[in-house]
Amino acid sequence: MGMVSGSQILARALRMQGVDTMFYLMGGPMIEAEALCIKEGIRSIDVRHEQAAAMMAHAWGRVTRRIGVCMAASGPGAANLVTGVANAWADASPLLAIGGAAPLAASGRGVFQECDQLSIFKPITKWADRCMDPARIPEMIATALRQAGTGRLGPAYLEMPGDVLHKEVDENSIVYREGSTSMNQARLSGDPDRIHAAIKLLGEAERPILVCGTGIIWSEASAELRRFVELAGIPFYTTPQGRGVIPDDHALSCLAARTTAFSKADCILIVGTRMNYINGHFTAPRFSANARIIQVNIDAGEIGLTRPCDVGIVGDAKAVLEQLMDEAQGKLDSRRYSAWVEQLQEVDRSRTAEQEKRMSSGAVPIHPLRLCKEVRDFLDRDAYLIVDGQEILNYGRQSIPTFEPGHRLNSGTWGTMGVGLPFGLGVKAAHPGKQVMVLHGDGSFGLNGMELDTAVRHGLNVVCVVSLNGGWTADPDRDKPGRELGYTRYDRMAEALGCHGEYVEEPGQIRPALERAFAAGKPALVNVKTDYRARATTAKFSTYST
């Protein structure tokens, strides 16, 4: 059959594994492989910075429940993937990153872009390896995808040295492997005794709550979660990126009463999320020190990590919720907690009414909450919303609901600024017919703003809304070092790159600008001047202040 190069094998192996989309920035020694991927029919979206390629692949994977793929050149090209790959690692999201590298045969001689890239990626991936033989490429691609997409999800990294890519081998020696980038999680059930113990604890509780995260999305457990919540009559709360697994306007979703629910709950069922700073590690004072804890997680290492569990269940969220429903039949009555639910609903109504008054402000400069109100009232119910920044991220989390699973993305547990626009483009590449909006702070927008060029070139008609408060974070005294960025006309920058641009200084202008932006038929940016003094309140996540 003839001889084939490592680059040919790589492109064919990816296609055989079901890869149909990848994100990359061209460069040696990957150029031939990238061209061959295109020839194989893989949709290839080239970006302006490698970290954006990793972030786009991350978001594309989140909203398709598949493993996103990104590629970069050797040395600085691969190093530029690091922020995006590390963010996926912190976010427990699947990703395959492929980095070119200096030739193996010249290792240690100081050749062009030589660097121990593998050591850089190992701490921020589930699996990282270097291909030494082109004949092993199909095997290593299959292994990388399997590692990324099983158990606790996360990124994998495969390094492709230049001489391995260029080397030719007998095609008869290659064994290609068919596969899929779709999630193929084993439905690991929980220990029946612990399922029984969990329902017993809930039956003894008077003020239970359920807290869940993106594990619900990855395990496709939204329907099971809703049925269990309604069967048991338990109020539920989600992590920021877990929003929408049950619609935020559900009767048992008392978002504005979160603080009350957390501090007064006497039993907390935690499903598909980690004990970390996002939820205050489930410890006092944010949560009652006397509350009984039930935790469900696919990763045994997460059980009781920062707070001991009364019942720890290792298992897949979908499978365990089905078990809990079966066990709860005739043992849990949704009316049992009605007084507790009514208490939270009353708090929720009161605080929501107060918030609505703040969101209706007609002040100039525009308060970020007014911007959030206009965004909330404009978006379709099934829109994808990506929020990235400091103040606007916090305000958006408090005020803009989500109604569909996986339709809310943000900076994640790593707090990575700059994910907004790349995330939006990854989502739009996956779902071109959906309304996709990125709500950005002006500081975070600047980190990957040139990806508007990528949007134009690839027809990814995302609308980016920038909260233009003139710098990093709010600062009433304007005395923070490096805070000031000025009131840059990002709308003009967007227009120069081929986008539709809008500039807004008054609240009444926001809605018409959004309507024109979405009707433009091309990528758009709405630049909204907001009040630099508006500081969002949020839980204290660190020992320092920004």
Whether 490 maps to a domain, the answer reads yes
Whether 281 maps to a domain, the answer reads yes
Q: Closest Cα to residue 238, out of 70, 406, 120, 360?
A: 406
Q: Point out which residues pair with 161 in neighbouring strands.
A: 101
Q: Are 232 and 150 within one domain?
A: no
- Indicate the burial class of 483 (C-beta count within 10 angstroms; 0-12, 13-18, 19 or more): middle
Q: Structural domain tally of the chain?
A: 3
pLDDT score recorded for residue 478: 80
pLDDT score recorded for residue 184: 65
Q: Are 284 and 399 within one domain?
A: no
With contact defined as beta carbons under 8 Å apart, do 189 and 26 qualify?
no
Q: Are 340 and 370 within one domain?
A: no
pLDDT score recorded for residue 354: 92
Helices (H), ranges, 276-434: 317-328, 338-359, 368-378, 391-399, 420-430
CA distance linking residue 355 with residue 333, whole number of Å: 33
Residues of the domain holding 412: 360-529
Residue 283: CB partners within 8 Å, gap ≥ 6? 289, 306, 307
Q: Are 499 and 371 within one domain?
A: yes
CA distance linking residue 305 with residue 128, whole number of Å: 26
Return left, alpha or beta for 442; rule: phi > 0 is left, psi -120 to 50 is alpha, else beta.
alpha
Alpha carbon separation from 490 to 87, 201, 236, 448, 471 (Å, rounded): 26, 54, 39, 12, 13
Q: Are 332 and 365 within one domain?
A: no
CA distance linking residue 440 with residue 419, whole number of Å: 9
With contact defined as beta carbons under 8 Å apart, do 158 and 146 qualify?
no
pLDDT score recorded for residue 542: 41
Helices (H), ranges, 215-288: 215-218, 222-232, 258-264
Q: Are 20 and 166 within one domain?
A: yes
Q: Are 375 and 335 within one domain?
A: no
Q: Point out which residues pair with 408 in neighbouring strands.
A: 385
The alpha carbon dihedral of 333, 337, 341, 344 has a sign of: negative
CA distance linking residue 270 with residue 119, whole number of Å: 35
Whether 350 maps to a domain, the answer reads no
Q: Are 167 and 242 within one domain?
A: no
Q: Point out which residues pair with 409 in neighbouring strands.
A: 386
DSSP-derived pairing of the beta strands 168-170 and 3-5:
antiparallel
Whether 71 maps to a domain, the answer reads yes
For residue 213, what is the domain's CATH number?
3.40.50.1220
Q: Are 208 and 303 within one domain?
A: yes
- Indicate the burial class of 46 (C-beta count within 10 angstroms; 0-12, 13-18, 19 or more): middle
Whether 463 maps to a domain, the answer reads yes
Alpha carbon separation from 35 to 71, 78, 145, 180 (Å, rounded): 12, 18, 22, 22
End-of-domain residue from the set 345, 371, 399:
345
With contact defined as beta carbons under 8 Å apart, do 51 and 448 qualify?
yes
Q: Are 339 and 369 within one domain?
A: no
Whether 258 maps to a domain, the answer reads yes
Q: How many CB atoms lie within 10 A of CB 173?
A: 10
Question: Does pTM surpass 0.75?
Answer: yes
End-of-domain residue from the set 345, 374, 390:
345
Whether 541 maps to a domain, the answer reads no
Q: Closest Cα to residue 370, out of 361, 381, 357?
A: 361
Query: Could you report the average pLDDT of every consecutive run of 10 residues in the chain (546 residues)?
Result: 93 97 97 97 98 98 96 97 97 97 83 89 98 97 96 96 95 90 81 97 96 94 97 94 94 95 97 89 92 95 93 96 96 91 96 93 96 97 96 92 96 92 98 98 96 98 97 87 94 98 98 98 98 79 45
- Alpha carbon distance, N-terminus to C-terminus of the chain: 63
Q: Are 257 and 368 within one domain?
A: no
Q: Which two tokens stand for residue 139?
A: 């095997």
Q: Are 140 and 31 within one domain?
A: yes
Q: Closest Cα to residue 406, out of 432, 383, 378?
A: 383
Can you give the C-alpha Rg of the chain in angstroms?
24
For residue 406, what is the domain's CATH number?
3.40.50.970
End-of-domain residue from the set 319, 345, 371:
345
DSSP annotation of 329: T
DSSP string computed for 68-115: EEEEE-TTHHHHTTHHHHHHHHHTT--EEEEEEE--GGGTTS--TT--
Whether 186 maps to a domain, the answer reads no
